[in-house]
């Protein structure tokens, strides 16, 4: 668990499952540290731990869903943070690169979408689009790391990550 501030907003980050998929296998032996964390507002992890582990609602997902639907309003005020830091050797020098974005909800009247809806759909639709265009292998399992970032960001769906606001400061 770590705590950090981004653009003046406090967050907590903690290890979770998923997200990396096959990335650990792809980079095995070539990367010393690979870390994937979920980012939430302070207190989220402890509340979920209480619900899932202490009240054992991880064994009763129907009750958990009912509680959540009755108690937590849906919102269009969500934000998805994408923050990637890479450190390594380039041309004999130790360098660090950062890719950071904040993706916000689209509040258009015709098709409003939350930030999590936009980013989930963008990733899947961009990959399908790139596959259809022949930019990805046409046979076998395609790992997410086979989708080149420039191709993803210039894709009509992946562009959602470009139209977002670049993070200005990291505290």
pLDDT at residue 7 in the model: 86
pLDDT in tens, 59-85: 999 999 999 999 999 888 889 998 888
Token pair in block for residue 14: 């903690």
Q: Could you give the CA distance from residue 144 to residue 131 in angstroms, rounded to a whole number?
A: 12
How far apart CA 89 and CA 7 sit, in angstroms, is 29
Alpha carbon 114 to chain centroid, angstroms:
14
Residue in the structure block whose two tokens are 């998923």: 18
Q: Is the pTM of this model over 0.85?
A: no
Lowest-pLDDT range, 42-46, 89-93, 121-125, 166-170? 166-170
Give the model confidence (pLDDT) of 92-119 as tens digits.
999 999 888 899 999 888 989 999 999 9
Please state the rounded mean pLDDT for residues 145-156. Answer: 93
């Amino acid at each position: 668990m770590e705590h950090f501030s981004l653009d003046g907003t406090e967050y907590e980050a903690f290890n979770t499952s998923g997200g990396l998929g096959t990335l650990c296998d792809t980079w095995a032996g070539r990367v010393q540290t690979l870390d994937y964390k979920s980012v939430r507002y302070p207190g989220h992890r402890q509340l979920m731990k209480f619900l899932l582990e202490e009240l054992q609602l991880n064994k009763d997902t129907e009750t958990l869903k009912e509680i959540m639907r009755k108690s937590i309003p849906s919102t269009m005020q969500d934000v998805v943070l994408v923050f990637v830091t890479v450190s390594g050797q380039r041309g004999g020098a130790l360098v660090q690169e950062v890719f950071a974005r904040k993706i916000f909800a689209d509040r258009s009247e015709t098709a409003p979408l939350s930030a999590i809806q936009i980013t989930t759909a963008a990733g899947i639709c961009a990959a399908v689009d790139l596959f259809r265009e022949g930019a990805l292998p046409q046979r076998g399992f395609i790992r997410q790391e086979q989708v080149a970032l420039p191709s993803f960001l210039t894709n009509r769906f992946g562009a959602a990550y470009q139209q977002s606001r670049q993070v200005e400061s990291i505290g």
